[in-house]
Structure 1
Amino acid sequence: MTRSTVRIAVNGVTGRMGYHQHLVRSLLELRKEGGVDLGDGRRLWPEPVLVGRREPALRSIAERHELPYWATDLDAVLADDTVDVYFDAQATAVRAEALGRAIAAGKHVYTEKPTATGLDSALELVRLARSGGIRHGVVQDKLFLPGLRKLKRLIDAGFFGQILSVRGEFGYWVFEGDWQPAQRPSWNYRGEDGGGITVDMFPHWSYLLESLFGRVTSVMAHAATHVPRRWDERGTPYAATADDAVYAVFEFDGGAVAQINSSWAVRVNRDELVEFQVDGVHGSAVAGLRHCRIQHRTATPRPVWNPDLPGIGNFRDQWQEVPDNQPFEHAFKAQWELFLRHVALGEPYQGDLAAGARGVQLAELGLRSSAEGRRIAVPELTL
């Protein structure tokens, strides 16, 4: 078996997501396995080139993992003809400009979302990538989570019959930063820096809802800043100018409705940090990060509202766990493997920059809906 090297500029590797999920849990794991098996007698060997602004942090990561290539000069990396792919896990506010430079340099691009802070910029990236003939992808990690893959299996098998509604709950309490350090960077709470839970999570809900249930045709949202004062990484108080919670209703082509609450100001009282309940005529399911439980119409109990009588037992106990039935790869690693196969072989890849633009569009319309206090139609994008 022969080995081909693909050199990947990983920008934003000193951040939490860039380091843990993309470098350590994905690219380095693929290297431990000997690279990506292309199925034709070749293996594709990922060679990360670490990119960032903080030289000491980059050097420390490189030494820790015995990676010889790192740089603080992005232009020099993009000018290097041996670099094949540019990956971006930077803060949202600087992402679109860096992606545009990478596309102009002829690099294939793979990126975290949102791809840009506004729809115009996101659409321009699509046009640049298509005219440049490069391959492009956007992270859609939640589609690869075990719980949601089980949910997709149920949908494909026709378990639900006609799907009526989806109810989603996502979030957790992010500490303010004064008496306990915050679990998220402070820029997440400054609108001027590209922060806000709507622009962070609606791109996720866009690809997830579209892939599972169909095109979103309208959105009605209410965004809120529940915690107006926070403390940054240096312990300095600042005003939170971005939303930390958003409550939304989405409609689909087929008439189904999704209601999804997203919040960094909620304490968790559910089995997983994110859960989706899907109700259909023939059955229902509750899917989280790893688990999925079902209740078929033939096993649905007959509750009756009567506060004068005792209940009919623990409702949670009346659901059946969906078995794994197959091994599930780490979500980020699984998508990296698909994207690298797309780069090497041209295999179909649905999570492209156009999908990323639809996520930016949904976030933009969600914030507009909140500001104007009304439901807003989601038009199909002309690309």
Structure 2
Amino acid sequence: MSGGGGRRIREGRRRKSAVPTWARLCTILGAVLVMLSGGVLVGLEAVLARFDSAVNEDDLFGDEAAGGAAEKKSDIKGPLNILLVGIDPRNPETPPLADSIMVLHVTETLDSAYLFSLPRDLLVDIPRFPKADFSGDRTKLNAAMAYGSRVPGKKLPNASQGFELLSLTVSKVTGIKRFDAGAIINFGGFQKIVDAMGGVTMYIDQNVRSEHRRPDGTHRTLKPGGGGYLGPQAQYKKGTRHLLGWQALDYVRQRYQKNGVSDGDYGRQRHQQQFVRAMADQALSKDVVTNPLKLDRVIQAAGDSLVFSGRGHKLIDFGFALRNLRSDSIQMIRLPGGNIGTGSNYRGERFEPIAAEFFAAIRAGTVDSFVINNPELLNKLK
């Protein structure tokens, strides 16, 4: 894929298996690092054992509760659909909201894929979910995880249970009946990953001012009565920049504004795609893979940031299955949409009809030709 955030792949440089998604980033760290570094670091078994012990696995789709319905195969075959959800937990007693929702669709040959985001404010029908005593509602997509995470009789929410309801809701939206794997990613943990790598170099496509942080990284003060923040703002200027962990995380939270008008969640989706691609490049750079101490810190931070379900397969299994998937064979997709209502009447986001056509192409296995015929769906990251 031409363009994109982070450093460009130089001609003649060794090709690397770097899928620009959070789950794939963690998979690469565990399964492919030695292949990429030519074995100069440590033995493969040691890397796999180190990473495998760091990853948290849980039942994200309710398979165990359904009586062990997790599907086990001798190998992983395409096509694959992987649901990735980013959360920003600030209080363990508060039900988590899905701050970022992405789907990685890997084609049947397992060597190309499409990554697309669903707006967190997408207005959807969330189905009833007896596990959480939830009767169903028509509201914003990110609320599905919060509703599903409620455990009757318990004070603390269960994010894994919330993921199950979110996956059911995304299935209704996209028509994808079954996800082959899923992951919950803690945004705070990703700040630790970036810091463990020594920062991340990425391309910023627009001048952006932070609503939440000052230039020194401290939080801005909330205005009396709410309605905004006070104090100087951190700025992210257009161009290739090296960001610390707090800067990268702050950048992907911002909604880009032009002439005072926000582009809704679409600018933030683009920022997140820039970020994960740059993280993948940085994590697989020689500066990381040939430095045992830095590598160990990155692997541990990645494990602490991730809850994974492979529905019968380990994260490492997916790493080997997707070993031929290259960063330039991943297409970033932007599904067009718009607001439902404005101002005080704002109810959420909606997709344009072409999104339903894109989902139908995924289900039919014709997404390659569909995107060729609709190039405007390609999200230009640079």
User: TM-score normalized by structure 2?
Assistant: 0.27
Greater length-normalized contact order (CA 8 Å, ≥ 6 residues apart): 2
Q: Which has the higher strand share?
A: 1
